[in-house]
Structure 1
Amino acid sequence: MSANATQLYAKRFGRVLLHIEQHLDEELTLDALSALAHYSPFHFHRAFSAYVGVSVGRYVQLMRLRRASIRLREEPQLPVLDIALHAGFDSGEAFARAFKRTFGQSPSAFRRTPLWQAWNAAFVFPSFIWSVIMQVDIMQFPATRIAALEHRGPIRELSHSWQTFTAWRQHSGVSSVEQYRTFGIPYSNPDTTPPADFQFDLCGELGAGEIVAANPEGVVEKFIPGGRCARVRHLGPRDRLGQTIYPLYRDWLPSSSETPRDFPLFFHFVTSKFGPEREHDITDIYLPLR
């Protein structure tokens, strides 16, 4: 990574980290934080996790817990419940659970005799343990009409939606699996999104003149916009896509000086059968660029 690219990346996320530190009493929305980093919300959470080592939600919670722990020591007369509520927790019990899970002791015990080694360890953010050499290509992706089944819910249920979508493609005769490409569009990161909020479109390319008629499965017509994309190939099970996605954001993106476009990354399932157990699957990952 060039020095200039490193400095630019650090400056972007430095603004975000400083803003979080200065506004812990306020609602810190994804839209506001991503704007500070000049990232689309689609990409910000992944880039932040890759840069810092934890999700933005976890980072904010850690900063609030850190401030609360300091208040426990410096304001011994202040009730623990008041500190908990000021830190954004709904109850003293929720605060105590999060505090003990993070620092290894209850708020009251920390107030009396803090375990500073555990406290310091909580703020050492992890780096990824794998190193990936990636061949990233910049290419022009053509605008593509697709049939899409919108999956909403836990990622573990995605295989059921896949079966529904595949069955629709077969019995409708539209977007034939044998003739046309199969795509996936994740609108959120399953590593950082509550299971009920996870969104993923299962998609099949539409042939010229093909129309998606109203259907009980809920398949609708959409399109993937055309434009510049970074493309990298992932080999192996799709439940390990993060092993390629995170280095793409962490290593390649800052060194490239590119900026993601306002559309989520998407997958082309080169081998179109779905299943995390398939060791020889091939998936092309596309990161839309400005």
Structure 2
Amino acid sequence: MDEQEWLAEQFEGARGHLRAVAYRMLGSLTEADDAVQEAWLRLNRAYDSDIENLRGWLTTVVGRVCLDMLKSRRIRREDPFESVVHVPDYVQEEEGDPEQRALLADSVGLALLVVLEALDPAERLAFVLHDMFGVPFDEIAPIVERTPAAARQLASRARRRVRGGSAVPDPDLAKRREVVEAFLSAARGGDFEALLNVLDPGVVARSDGRLGARGAPAVASTAAAFARIAEVAQLALINGSPGVIAAHAGEGFRAMTFDVAGGCITEIDVITDPERLLTLDLALLEG
């Protein structure tokens, strides 16, 4: 086996890992494949037999490529003549396909990616590489052109923004969270009576601003049908208030905000419009 064949074999062995890294960095399957292909081209141009950890080297290269792509995406967004709205691709798992399973990672992968969209590119890279793939800060630092300590701070800031924490300290927010959790639990079980107990008799549900249902029985019927999506839903802080974000194959991504009064839900707003989604301040809540 000559060197080129050996390189191709090693690269193919790392392709699934590299695609998973790029997908979490970019939220786009097409762009992830582009980043992986660029890593292959750079490997062919710059391979050095002194490289001890080829998989680590390739991960670093993919990180740099993705960082450049994220910076370019942000510049396009700031162009007043070009509106670029990016909502991550949903990856539908195919049974027996380990690469697809690696891309999904968990049932709230897309929700997390949407939250990551709000991060600075360097924060996103530090968080993804360290927290999701265990890359040491010593290796992340050169990619973001900072010291290891500064790279650690980038990941820490990203972590605080991504994870809202397991508790909501404000007493009012804590009560609202309990109500939203009760709604989500009832919806997951398709429990019509439990839904009625948490809904105000005059509750109103809207979808992207359009009236969907009015009154507890009508909204409860709609929520009960939401059980399949509720299974992969995640509690979140949405603009500082407890809500729900969810993604399901064939259903896309959605955020749900709730108005709560007297221990009951009075209004539900389901948001699926990509432009509205990217204006939301999102942070995942640990259940």
For the criterion TM > 0.5, the same-fold answer is no
Structure having the larger proportion of residues in helix: 2
Structure with more contact order per residue of length (Cα contacts < 8 Å, sep ≥ 6): 1
**Class of the TM-score when normalised by the shorter of the 2 chains:** under 0.3
